Structure 1
Amino acid sequence: MKIVFATDLSDANEAAIESRTCLECLDNIGVREVHLLTVVPDNVSSGLPGMDAASDAREALAPQRNVFERAGFEVETHVARGTPHRRINGLAERLDADMIVVGSRGQSPLRNRLIGGTVRNVARTAVRPLLVERIEETASGHAVRKEHLFQDVLYATDFSENAARAYDYFPSLTGATERAYLLHVGDGDAESTATAEERLDELATDLRDRTGFDVETNVRSGNPVDEITAEEERVGATTTLIGARGTSRLRRLLLGSTAESIVARGTNNVLLVPPEAAAPR
């Protein structure tokens, strides 16, 4: 498996890369090749004090590259100039990567933030599965919020085709996932709740047979974003798996409001599977 790991060279992203358990999770799902990418925005010039943007960025990537190499990954580094989300997605498509990984917090010396708008824009335009890894500030610096990325996966489904694509990503997590929690958020109608419970039970049986995971199901009612985040907390999920909606002929992904809110406002790691090129090889 081949991934593009986008970094803004901040302490926050270094914390994600240096987390041994996170590296083990990537190894356990079959990641062998890592393409470490940082993007120098167009408004950063070599005239800034102490900074020749491209060469400084390449030099700054060396410690992060060393961490991956010591963990046994094959690593290539890339420095691009331009709009971050376009360069991230462009490299992933050019390399035919299986996944993009971005950190959700942090600011680099190059003032390129892989949070907020950049992450949302990566998600909106990606045609590769996107892992948003949550990083938090601590008293001693930064740390990943939940280290065991794929150990406990919450899968939120509305039973759409796009949700089914995300469900089909589960087998690629074998080796790292121990438990899966299947969730549907409905309107509280008794009949639709019963139908949803039946459909989730069918998915749970299939998933146990295919992967051997421990699987639980639940149907909640209310606002989808609120209920998904509440379920994340209840079950202790380390990553939320969710499908995105719709893509145009220009391959510009238009996130559904629920997926976008989970990516933008949530505190859990998120694995977002887009409609195209979603199935892992």
Structure 2
Amino acid sequence: MRALFATDLSAASEAAIQNETSLETLQQIGVDTIDLVTVVPSNVHAGMPGMDLEGRRERALDRYQSVMEDAGFEVDTHVVRGTPHRRINGIAGTIGADLTVVGSRGKSPLENRVIGSTARNLSRTTVVPLLITRIERETAEPEVRREQLFQRMLYATDFSENAERAFEAFSTLRHATESARLVHVESPKDAGATGDEGDDPATRLEELTAQLEEWDIETEIDVRQGDPADEILAAEDEFDATTTLLGSRGRSRLRRLLLGSVSETVIARAAGNVYLVPPSRSA
């Protein structure tokens, strides 16, 4: 598997890249090649006062590359200019990445629905599965908050086609997963829309549970009522999930750029990591 690591050379990015446990977890799911990419925004120029951009990029990428090669990965580096999320998506598609990884400090102390602009834009437009690793806030030397990335998985589903596609990620993630909680949230707007008549959510979740238990993943189901985003976040907290797995689009017919509000809210407010699976490219 090939993973693309996006870095802005910040302390948060460095924490995600240099965390040994997280790197070992990626190896567990089959990642053996990593592409490091840093994007220089178009409005930033090397000649700007006080900015040794070229030297800083080279030193940081050399250091990151050494860490990852020492951990056993094959590593390529990319330094490009442009709009970060567009260039990252473009490289991911060009190299055939199986996964994009980006670090985010998550909740802003000023506005709890704000996440880093690159992570937010990637979550709206990603062409491959996206892992947003949650980094500690308000510390000079931040760490990954849930370094055992896929150990305890919370899977949220509305039984849509894209949610089913997200569930398929377990075929790879299972090599690093010990337990999982499968959650479906019923809301007034969803009444009668979850499946065939008489096919209740608990039954459908039990069917998914059978698959995970074949892989020796301890699994439980959770059917809740209320606001989907709020209930998913509550389930994450109760289960102490290391990562929440969900699709980037449910039953909405809006184009992918307009990410469903549930996914975007979860990404912004989750305490742990989020693994987001986009629709297939042919969708």
What TM-score does the superposition give when structure 1 sets the normalisation length?
Answer: 0.88
1:133 is aligned to 133
2:81 is aligned to 81
C-alpha separation between the residues in 1 aligned to 2:116 and 2:20? 26
In structure 1, stretches of 5+ residues that fail to align are 107-114
2:206 is aligned to 201
Match of 2:223 among 219, 222, 225: 219
C-alpha separation between the residues in 1 aligned to 2:202 and 2:229? 19
The residue matched to 1:146 in structure 2 has which SS?
A: coil
2:43 is aligned to 43
Contact 1:126 1:252 (8 Å CA) reproduced:
no
1:231 is aligned to 235
**Would you say 1:154 and 2:158 are equivalent positions?**
no
Q: CA deviation at 1:54?
A: 4.2
C-alpha separation between the residues in 1 aligned to 2:229 and 2:256? 23
The structure-2 alpha-carbon separation of the partners of 1:53 and 1:212, relative to structure 1 and needing over 3 Å to count, comes to same
In structure 2, stretches of 5+ residues that fail to align are 107-114
1:35-74 deviations in Å (ceiling 9; x for gaps): 0011111111111235353453133211111111110000
2:116 is aligned to 116
What TM-score does the superposition give when structure 2 sets the normalisation length?
Answer: 0.87
Matches within 5 A, 1:176-195: 176-187=176-187, 195=200
Alpha-carbon RMSD: 2.5
The structure-2 alpha-carbon separation of the partners of 1:140 and 1:79, relative to structure 1 and needing over 3 Å to count, comes to closer
Q: CA deviation at 1:190?
A: 10
C-alpha separation between the residues in 1 aligned to 2:78 and 2:191? 53
Match of 1:244 among 234, 248, 261: 248
C-alpha separation between the residues in 2 aligned to 1:83 and 1:154? 32
Contact 2:248 2:277 (8 Å CA) reproduced:
yes
Contact 1:102 1:131 (8 Å CA) reproduced:
yes
1:99 is aligned to 99
2:271 is aligned to 267
The structure-2 alpha-carbon separation of the partners of 1:55 and 1:78, relative to structure 1 and needing over 3 Å to count, comes to farther
Return 28-37 or 261-270, whichever deviates more. Answer: 261-270
C-alpha separation between the residues in 1 aligned to 2:133 and 2:211? 28
Q: CA deviation at 1:95?
A: 0.5
Contact 2:187 2:228 (8 Å CA) reproduced:
no
C-alpha separation between the residues in 2 aligned to 1:180 and 1:8? 32
1:149-186 deviations in Å (ceiling 9; x for gaps): 00000000001111000011111112211111100011
Q: CA deviation at 1:252?
A: 5.1
Contact 2:150 2:242 (8 Å CA) reproduced:
yes
1:183-206 deviations in Å (ceiling 9; x for gaps): 001138999898111111111012
The structure-2 alpha-carbon separation of the partners of 1:240 and 1:56, relative to structure 1 and needing over 3 Å to count, comes to same
C-alpha separation between the residues in 2 aligned to 1:49 and 1:69? 34
* Aligned partner letter, 2:81: R
1:66 is aligned to 66
Give aligned-pair identity as a percent: 54
* Aligned partner letter, 1:230: A
The residue matched to 1:267 in structure 2 has which SS?
A: coil
Return 44-53 or 97-106, whichever deviates more. Answer: 44-53
Q: CA deviation at 1:132?
A: 0.3
Q: How many residues align?
A: 267
